[in-house]
């Protein structure tokens, strides 16, 4: 595992002042899945709010609906019912293309499996959102390099993902999530495959680089070893939010 | 994004080479087999091509090709000469005979008797010797298929003696002619000499070759000959076409080559389809991640099209180059003599490659399009 990240320039500071507070507002979210002849309701009218400047955990047992909720909140899974506003935009009122462009402009993703492209180097992987936005390869790589430097893996920039350790790959994934200066960072089970110490380091790193005044950060996890690092915790049980507070309830 | 698409493709070397092999192999099979097919059936017209001066071929009405012919009375020559618009007309004999070689072997040959005076009916070029040498007694010219078939041990054919219908024949030159469809040895000699070499029948004049006077059209003169003599008169191209059609209609060659070409296509679809699907399946998480990040379906489709285009272009080029090398490599062999690749054949292969890639690319693309971006969180 690398040492603590260098301070990252406040990219988000250049963004328009986000609603200071509410980054995501989800109201009455219901999500059904069709399983053969029957319908399975995974979310039962969930109301939730995610605020900027906070690291919000969405926690719950497997099957509680946390991944479904987060997918809906970041615009990659349509709710059966309900409304989701991200930075004031009703994202499911957008057309398909508008929604895709909205994600590209506003959301950074860190996937549990990283999902780096195996045949391009770390810098190019980190630059993918910029390239997707239409930036030329070289300027995009240069910008990604700055971020990789800040994450202490600048010297690994020319290596392919399979030449990097798991921790280094995760930092590349973090760089990819932040390189286009999104206002919302979504992180899926970042510590699932790590031991306790490494897990805390990753969370410290994420706090350093992903949390900013105008940026919201959502972490989906069921790793109770890192609950104390959250600013806010939403607990989901059987598709319902059962707790919303700065600490885990004692019965968990 | 196209740069990323190409890197994704070329980064997985095994699958990239597999895809290239699939396309190249299909292109090779389709192009090479079609080339051989076209060149083989064109040999049905080799007798016509070997007599370049003749503008009109006159024959018995039942004759169909230069090989499938029926002899006419010798008076036919004068009848043709008397038709208006005929500039010149010469006798031409084509018949099958058996030849005994100096070491006692028996070989079936085609005897071609050309006009004694003008030597019209001989191939344009000789590999060895002069056309005028035919004026020497008992002289025959052999074609290069004959040299290969009858003098396998590298013996010089010039000066070799043959026995034809109890007559002596001496090879004094080698003709540069396109082999016939059956690749039978052909011996060229004077018409008067050929009459001695072919077993005696009452009629032995198989064709009259004619040229048209200035200001006349070939078709009009041919029609006039037919009308006035009752013989069949065909312009050179028409008889060549009849030779090709005869092979198409009377042999299983089109079907056999058609099956091979179809197999080439199916093998291409199978290899490319399977490899491309595997490639897409292996990268489905990455495509899902790109979709989640904010890459539109249109851009993803362009990525897959770019990957298919690269594989198609390189694979097709390799396949065509391999075919050219094949034809070039065997060009010294009389079996492949005169083989060429008509431009239509690479075009047909290109269309086949486009169909293969469109088919397989579309199937693969569908799986990418169906991938929900949310799947990356599962």
Give residue A212's domain range: 11-245
Report A:192-231 residues touching B (Cβ under 8 A). 220
Q: Which residue of B has its CA nearest to A66?
A: B377
Q: Do residues B115 and B88 make contact, with C-beta atoms less than 8 angstroms apart?
A: no
Reference B134, options B169, B95, B184; nearest CA is B169
Residue A98 has pLDDT above 60, yes or no: yes
Helices of type H across B43-104: 46-49, 76-81
A1, part of any domain = no
pLDDT band at B233 (very low <50, low <70, confident <90, very high): very high
pLDDT band at A127 (very low <50, low <70, confident <90, very high): very high
Contacts of A67 in chain B (CB under 8 A): 377-378
B118, part of any domain = yes
pLDDT band at B314 (very low <50, low <70, confident <90, very high): very high
Q: Which of A71, A95, A169 to mutate to test the interface with B (most CBs of B within 10 A)?
A: A71
The Cα–Cα gap between A66 and A46 comes to 11
Of B3, B12, B374, Cβ closest to residue A77:
B374
Number of domains in chain B: 2
Same domain as B366, residue B330: yes
Same domain as B178, residue B105: yes
CATH number at residue A62: 3.40.50.300
Same domain as B172, residue B38: no
Which string of DSSP letters, residue by residue, matches B331-376?
TTSGGGTT----THHHHHHHHHHHHHHHHHHHHHHHHHHH--GGGG
Beta-carbon contacts of B276 under 8 Å, excluding residues fewer than 6 positions away, are B19, B308, B311, B360, B361, B364
Residue A72 has pLDDT above 60, yes or no: yes
CB contact A97 to B (< 8 Å)? yes
Taking an 8 Å cut-off on Cβ atoms, the answer to whether A113 and B294 are in contact is: no
Q: Which residue of A has its CA nearest to B12?
A: A119
Q: What digits encode the pLDDT tens for the residues A221-237?
A: 887 788 888 888 988 88
Number of domains in chain A: 1
B243, part of any domain = no
| The predicted structure's pLDDT at residue A11 | 38
Same domain as B267, residue B196: no
Contact pairs from chain A to chain B, CB under 8 Å: 88
Same domain as B341, residue B266: yes
Q: Do residues A23 and A50 make contact, with C-beta atoms less than 8 angstroms apart?
A: yes
| The predicted structure's pLDDT at residue A1 | 41
Strands, sheet with A240-245, edge to edge from the N-terminal-most edge strand: A107-110, A184-188, A216-221, A55-59, A232-237, A240-245
Q: What is the mean pLDDT of residues B197-201?
A: 79
The ipTM assigned to this model is: 0.80
Same domain as B256, residue B165: no
Q: Which of A43, A76, A91 to mutate to test the interface with B (most CBs of B within 10 A)?
A: A76
* Cβ atoms within 10 Å of A169's Cβ, excluding its own: 21
Residue A18 has pLDDT above 70, yes or no: no
Residue B208 has pLDDT above 90, yes or no: yes
Strands B139-143 and B86-100: unpaired
Q: Do residues A84 and A91 make contact, with C-beta atoms less than 8 angstroms apart?
A: yes
Residue A207 has pLDDT above 70, yes or no: yes
Contacts of A103 in chain B (CB under 8 A): 292-294
Reference B12, options B307, B288, B300; nearest CA is B307
Beta-carbon contacts of A25 under 8 Å, excluding residues fewer than 6 positions away, are A48, A49, A50, A84, A85
A111, part of any domain = yes
B241, part of any domain = no
Q: What digits encode the pLDDT tens for the residues B48-74?
A: 988 889 999 999 999 999 888 898 988
Q: Which residues of A44-59 are buried (b: 16+ CB within 10 A; e: fewer)?
A: eebebbbbbbbbbbbb
A250, part of any domain = no
Q: Which residue of B has its CA nearest to A138?
A: B3
Segment among A8-12, A102-106, A189-193 with least mean pLDDT:
A8-12
Same domain as B201, residue B260: no
| The predicted structure's pLDDT at residue B174 | 92
pTM of the predicted protein model: 0.74
Same domain as B219, residue B156: yes
B58, part of any domain = no
Which string of DSSP letters, residue by residue, matches A168-204?
HHHHHHHHHHHTT--SEEEEE-TTTTS-HHHHHHHHH
Give the DSSP H or E segment for B9. Answer: helix B2-11
Give residue B77's domain range: 73-230
| The predicted structure's pLDDT at residue A210 | 72
Same domain as B92, residue B220: yes
């Amino acid at each position: 595992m690398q040492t603590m990240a260098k301070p990252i320039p406040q990219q988000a500071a250049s963004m328009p002042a986000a609603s200071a507070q509410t980054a995501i507002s989800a109201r009455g979210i219901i999500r059904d899945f069709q399983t053969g002849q029957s319908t399975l309701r995974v979310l039962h009218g969930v109301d939730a709010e995610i605020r900027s400047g906070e690291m919000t955990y969405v926690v719950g047992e497997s099957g509680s609906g946390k991944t479904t909720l987060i997918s809906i909140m970041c615009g990659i899974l349509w709710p059966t019912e309900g409304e989701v506003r991200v930075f004031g935009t009703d994202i499911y009122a957008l057309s398909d293309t508008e929604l895709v462009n909205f994600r590209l402009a506003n959301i950074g993703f860190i996937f549990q499996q990283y999902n780096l492209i195996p045949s391009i180097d770390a810098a190019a992987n980190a630059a993918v959102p910029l390239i997707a936005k239409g930036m030329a390869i070289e300027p995009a790589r240069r910008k990604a390099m700055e971020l990789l430097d800040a994450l202490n893996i600048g010297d690994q920039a020319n290596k392919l993902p399979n030449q990097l350790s798991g921790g280094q790959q995760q930092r590349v994934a973090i760089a990819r999530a932040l390189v286009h200066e999104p206002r919302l960072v979504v992180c899926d089970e970042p510590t699932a495959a790590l031991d306790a110490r490494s897990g805390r380091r990753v969370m410290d790193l994420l706090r350093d680089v992903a949390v900013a005044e105008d940026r919201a950060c959502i972490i989906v996890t069921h790793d109770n070893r890192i609950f104390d690092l959250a600013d806010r915790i939403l607990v989901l049980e059987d598709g319902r939010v059962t707790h919303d507070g700065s600490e885990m309830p004692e019965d968990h | 994004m196209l740069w990323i698409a190409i890197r994704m493709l070329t980064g997985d070397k095994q699958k990239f080479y597999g895809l290239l092999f699939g396309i190249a192999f299909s292109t090779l099979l389709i192009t090479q087999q079609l080339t051989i097919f076209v060149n083989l059936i064109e040999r049905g017209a080799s007798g016509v091509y070997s007599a370049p001066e003749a503008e009109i071929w006159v024959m018995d009405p039942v004759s169909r090709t230069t090989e499938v012919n029926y002899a006419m009375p010798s008076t036919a020559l004068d009848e043709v000469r008397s038709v208006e618009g005929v500039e010149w007309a010469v006798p031409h004999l084509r018949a099958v005979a058996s030849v005994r070689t100096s070491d006692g072997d028996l070989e079936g040959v085609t005897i071609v008797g050309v006009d004694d005076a003008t030597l019209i009916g001989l191939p344009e070029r000789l590999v060895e010797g002069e056309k005028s040498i035919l004026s020497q007694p008992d002289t025959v010219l052999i074609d290069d298929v004959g040299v290969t078939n009858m003098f396998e041990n590298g013996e010089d054919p010039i000066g070799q003696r043959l026995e034809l219908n109890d007559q002596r024949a001496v090879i004094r030159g080698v003709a540069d002619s396109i082999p016939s469809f059956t690749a039978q040895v052909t011996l060229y000699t004077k018409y008067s000499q050929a009459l001695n070499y072919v077993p005696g029948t009452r009629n032995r004049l198989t064709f009259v070759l004619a040229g048209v006077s200035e200001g006349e059209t070939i078709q009009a003169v041919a029609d006039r000959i037919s009308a006035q003599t009752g013989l069949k008169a065909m312009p050179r191209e028409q008889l060549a076409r009849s030779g090709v059609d005869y092979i198409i209609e009377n042999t299983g060659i089109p079907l056999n080559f058609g099956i091979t070409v179809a197999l080439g296509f199916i093998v291409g679809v199978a290899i490319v389809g399977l490899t491309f699907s595997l490639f897409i399946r292996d990268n489905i998480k990455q495509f899902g991640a790109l979709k989640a990040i904010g890459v539109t379906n249109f851009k993803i489709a362009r990525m897959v099209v770019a990957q298919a285009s690269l594989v198609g272009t390189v694979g097709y080029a390799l396949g065509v180059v391999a075919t050219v090398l094949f034809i070039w490599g065997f060009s010294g062999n009389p079996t492949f003599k005169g083989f060429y690749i008509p431009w239509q054949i690479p075009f047909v292969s290109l269309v086949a490659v486009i169909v293969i890639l469109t088919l397989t690319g579309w199937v693969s693309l569908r799986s990418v399009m169906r991938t929900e971006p949310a799947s990356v969180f599962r």
